[in-house]
Structure 1
């Protein structure tokens, strides 16, 4: 599934509800919440705060997907084509950072 298809699928799902997309500030709060859940799971796995024995293991893929969902909601609500924005962002990085790091030498 490409990004345009993801945006269409999310829009189709959200469009079936009268409430529609949340306001931008509410979505920012939701995004922050989802990033916090990812941070908590990463800290449990790789940081200094292990889970309690009775806590269930988390799912990093699910946490990342939750973040992607709210980003798509955000973009859709503001009529942003994420695919186009992504292409522009990668072009910016390719230009700005092309000599910033040491390339891997190919044999």
Structure 2
């Protein structure tokens, strides 16, 4: 099992994308790609945990694979806009921990 920090993920994605003249897609194209990947994740979750089984002709994909695709596209999106995902996550979790600290029933 390989463990990557968000910085390492973003660097690896950037190393991959940087070898091509086309570079990163535009933010609008990346948003469309991210939406597509989230839709594919939703489809897999529905197949595995919902009431809609796969057709025999459908390719086997996994939730794990779709989550990996989302991380890749999200990293492309962040890199293209020069956003550090660790910093973005820190801001978000700090806000959530403060805003929602009394929202849910705590475990004993």
What's the Cα RMSD here? 1.0
Q: CA–CA distance in 1 between the matches of 2:21 and 2:85?
A: 24
Q: 1:56: Cα distance to partner?
A: 3.9
Relative to the length of structure 2, the TM-score reads 0.93
Of 72, 75, 78, 1:72 maps to 75
Q: 1:46: Cα distance to partner?
A: 1.4
Q: Which runs of 5+ in 1 are unaligned?
A: none
Relative to the length of structure 1, the TM-score reads 0.93
* Deviates most, 96-105 or 51-60: 51-60
Bigger Rg over Cα: 1
Q: Which runs of 5+ in 2 are unaligned?
A: none
CA offset digits 1:25-63 (Å, max 9, x no partner): 101111111111111111111112111234343211110
Give every structure 1 segment of 4 or more consecutive aligned residues whose post-TM-superposition deviation is greater than 6 Å: none
Q: CA–CA distance in 2 between the matches of 1:34 and 1:19?
A: 21
Paired residues, number: 105
Where does residue 99 of structure 2 map in the other structure?
96
